C-alpha cells in the first residue's frame, strides 16, 4: 500500500505548496551536526548569537552555549546583540556592567546637562565628561548612541534634536550659552560646540570675570587664568615638556618657537596656564585689558580639541559714560574616535586630563591629529554637505 493510500499524508496537505525552501539549511541538518558546529567551530559568543537567530536553534543550542560562555565572552556577544536591538529601540552596550541598557528619553531629560543623572544610575554611568564651570555632562553612552545611529540606522532622531538645542550654563553671571552638534566623519565621531557669553561694562571687569571663574571648553582648556586646585601641580614641568613635545613632532606644520599660533595671549586660557606655568609672571590689573580678535586658532595639547576664539566689542547707546558690550565666542571641535570602547585612548583623553593614559609619542600616533586638523576635518565635512545640498537644489527644482 502506498504512503498516500496508507493515510500518512492528509488530503488537505497534498494541495499545499511545499515550504521546505523557506527553511534555513542549518535546520535541515541532524541535531548532532548542529551541536558539533556550535561547539567545535564557533566561539562561545558566536554560538550564543547563532542560538538566538530563531526559536528552533534557541531550543536546541542556547542552553549549552550559555553554559560554556565565560564573563569575557559576553563582552563580545552583547555588542553583536546591540546591533539588532538598536534598530528597534535606542539601546547601548555598557562595558562597566556588561549588559545592554535601554535609553528612555522620558527618563533622560537631565542626562546631557545635569550631574544628577550620573549618580542616579550608579557606576555604569561614571564614564562621562564633566566640563568645569558648566552643568554639561556628555557620557560614553551618548557617544555610543550617536555612533549606533550612524552604524545601524538606530531611531535616535529625538536625541539629535535635543543635542542640537542651545543651553545656558554657569553658576556665575554672566552665563554662557552652549550649542553642540555632532558629525560622523569617516566612521569616527566629531563634536562641535559654540560657547558664547556677552557682557555689558568695562573690559577690565569682563577680563576679571574670565580670569577668576571656571568655564571650560574641554577638560584642559578654560577661561580661568588663576587655578588654585592642587591637582594641577602634580604633573608640573613634565606635563609642560610632554605638551610641547607633541608640537615638536609636527615638523614643518608649525615651529615649536611659534607657540602663540595655538596659544592665544588671552582667554580662553592656554593649556600651560591650566598647569600654573605662568604663576611666576605677575600681570598688574591695569594691564589686563581685553583686545578685539577674530577667529584666533587654538589647540589643546592633551586631547584632540581645536578651537577658534572671537571677541567683539561695540558701543551701545549714545549717552555718557559710553557703555560697551563685549561678546566672546569660542567654537570648539572635538575628535572622539569610533567610540566602540570606553577604553579607547581618544575617548580617554577627551573625558580625562593629564598624561596618565599614554605617553606623548603614543598620543600622536594614536590620534593622527595635529593642531588645527580636527577643525579642518569638521569644516571640510560641512563644505561637502553644503555642496551636495546645492547640487540637489539644482537637480531638483522647486
- Mean of pLDDT values over 91-105: 76
Take residue 253 and report the three cell numbers written for it. 606644520
Q: How confident is the model at residue 117 (pLDDT cuts 50, 70, 90)?
A: very low
User: In this predicted model, what pLDDT tens digit does every residue of 348-394 receive, in sequence order?
Assistant: 878 874 444 444 444 444 455 677 889 999 999 999 888 766 666 66
Question: Mean pLDDT over residues 127-140, rounded?
Answer: 75
Predicted confidence at residue 95, as pLDDT, reads 78
290 by DSSP, 3-state: which? Answer: coil
Measured distance CA(193)–CA(330) in Å, rounded: 8
Give Cα 150 to chain centroid, integer Å.
13
Q: Which percentage of the chain shows pLDDT scores above 70?
A: 58
The reported pLDDT for the residue numbered 246 is 38
User: Which are the contacts of 88, defined by CB distance < 8 A and separation ≥ 6?
Assistant: 155
Contacts 24+ apart (CB under 8 A), 90-93: 90/145, 90/148, 90/154, 90/155, 90/156, 90/159, 91/148, 91/154, 92/141, 92/144, 92/145, 92/148, 93/144
| Average pLDDT value for residue range 100-111 | 60
Peptide bond into 174 cis (omega under 30): yes
pLDDT digits (tens, 9 = 90+) for 303-347: 788 888 888 888 887 667 778 888 889 999 999 999 888 888 788
pLDDT of residue 185 exceeding 90, the answer is: yes
Residue 271: is its pLDDT beyond 60?
A: no
Where is pLDDT greater, at 221 or 377? 377
Average pLDDT, the chain: 68
Q: Give the pLDDT confidence score for residue 375 in this predicted structure.
A: 92
Q: Residue 187 has what pLDDT?
A: 92
231 class by beta-carbon count within 10 Å (0-12 exposed, 13-18 middle, 19+ buried): exposed
Give the model's pLDDT for residue 288: 55
For the cut 70, the answer to whether the pLDDT of residue 284 exceeds it is no
pLDDT at 5 over 60: no
369-380 pLDDT, tens digit each: 677 889 999 999
What percent of the chain has a predicted confidence (pLDDT) above 90? 7
Report which of 86, 112, 109 is spatially closest to residue 191, judged by C-alpha positions. 112
Cβ contact 216:363 at 8 Å: no
Which secondary-structure segment (H or E) carries 83? helix 71-85
Whole-number Å distance between alpha carbons of 56 and 26: 11
Q: Domain spans of the chain?
A: 18-69, 77-163, 164-395
C-alpha cell at 280: 611666576
**Residue 291 is placed in which grid cell?**
583686545
User: Can you tell me the distance from the alpha carbon of 310 to that of 324, in angstroms, rounded to the nearest whole number?
Assistant: 16
* Closest alpha carbon to 131 in 366, 329, 270, 332: 332
pLDDT, position 323? 82
Please state, in angstroms and rounded to a whole number, the distance separating the CA atoms of residues 215 and 160.
Answer: 24
Terminal-to-terminal C-alpha distance of the chain: 75
Amino acid at each position: 500500500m502506498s504512503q498516500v493510500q496508507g493515510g500518512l499524508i492528509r488530503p488537505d496537505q497534498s494541495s499545499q505548496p511545499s515550504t521546505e525552501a523557506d527553511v534555513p539549511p542549518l535546520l535541515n541538518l541532524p541535531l548532532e551536526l548542529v551541536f558539533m558546529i556550535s561547539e567545535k567551530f564557533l566561539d562561545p559568543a558566536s554560538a550564543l548569537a547563532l542560538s538566538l537567530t530563531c526559536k528552533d536553534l534557541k531550543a536546541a543550542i542556547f542552553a549549552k552555549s550559555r553554559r560554556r560562555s565565560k564573563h569575557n565572552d559576553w563582552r563580545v556577544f552583547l555588542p553583536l546583540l546591540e546591533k539588532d536591538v538598536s534598530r528597534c529601540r535606542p539601546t547601548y552596550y555598557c562595558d562597566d556592567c556588561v549588559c545592554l541598557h535601554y535609553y528612555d528619553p522620558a527618563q533622560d531629560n537631565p542626562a546631557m546637562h545635569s550631574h544628577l543623572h550620573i549618580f542616579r544610575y550608579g557606576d555604569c554611568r561614571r564614564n562621562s565628561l564633566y566640563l568645569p564651570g558648566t552643568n554639561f555632562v556628555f557620557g560614553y553612552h551618548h557617544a555610543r548612541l550617536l555612533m549606533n545611529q550612524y552604524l545601524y540606522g538606530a531611531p535616535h532622531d529625538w536625541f539629535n534634536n535635543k543635542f542640537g538645542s542651545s543651553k545656558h550654563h554657569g553658576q556665575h553671571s554672566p552665563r554662557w550659552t552652549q550649542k553642540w552638534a555632532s558629525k560622523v566623519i569617516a566612521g569616527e565621531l566629531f563634536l562641535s560646540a559654540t560657547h558664547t557669553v556677552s557682557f555689558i561694562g568695562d573690559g577690565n571687569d569682563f577680563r576679571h570675570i574670565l580670569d577668576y571663574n571656571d568655564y571650560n571648553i574641554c577638560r584642559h582648556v578654560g577661561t580661568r587664568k588663576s587655578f588654585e586646585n592642587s591637582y594641577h601641580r602634580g604633573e608640573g614641568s613634565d606635563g609642560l615638556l610632554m605638551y610641547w613635545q607633541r608640537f615638536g613632532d609636527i615638523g614643518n606644520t608649525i615651529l615649536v618657537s611659534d607657540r602663540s599660533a595655538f596659544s592665544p595671549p588671552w582667554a580662553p586660557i592656554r593649556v600651560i596656564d591650566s598647569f600654573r606655568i605662568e604663576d611666576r609672571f605677575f600681570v598688574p590689573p591695569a594691564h589686563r585689558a581685553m583686545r578685539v580678535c577674530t577667529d584666533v586658532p587654538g589647540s589643546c595639547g592633551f586631547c584632540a580639541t581645536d578651537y577658534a576664539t572671537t571677541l567683539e566689542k561695540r558701543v551701545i547707546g549714545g549717552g555718557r559714560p559710553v557703555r560697551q558690550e563685549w561678546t566672546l565666542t569660542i567654537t570648539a571641535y572635538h575628535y572622539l574616535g569610533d567610540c566602540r570602547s570606553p577604553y579607547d585612548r581618544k575617548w580617554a583623553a577627551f573625558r580625562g586630563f593629564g598624561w596618565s593614559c599614554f605617553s606623548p609619542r603614543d598620543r600622536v600616533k594614536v590620534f593622527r591629529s595635529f593642531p588645527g586638523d580636527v577643525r579642518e576635518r569638521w569644516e571640510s565635512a560641512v563644505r561637502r554637505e553644503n555642496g551636495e545640498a546645492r547640487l540637489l537644489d539644482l537637480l531638483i527644482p522647486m
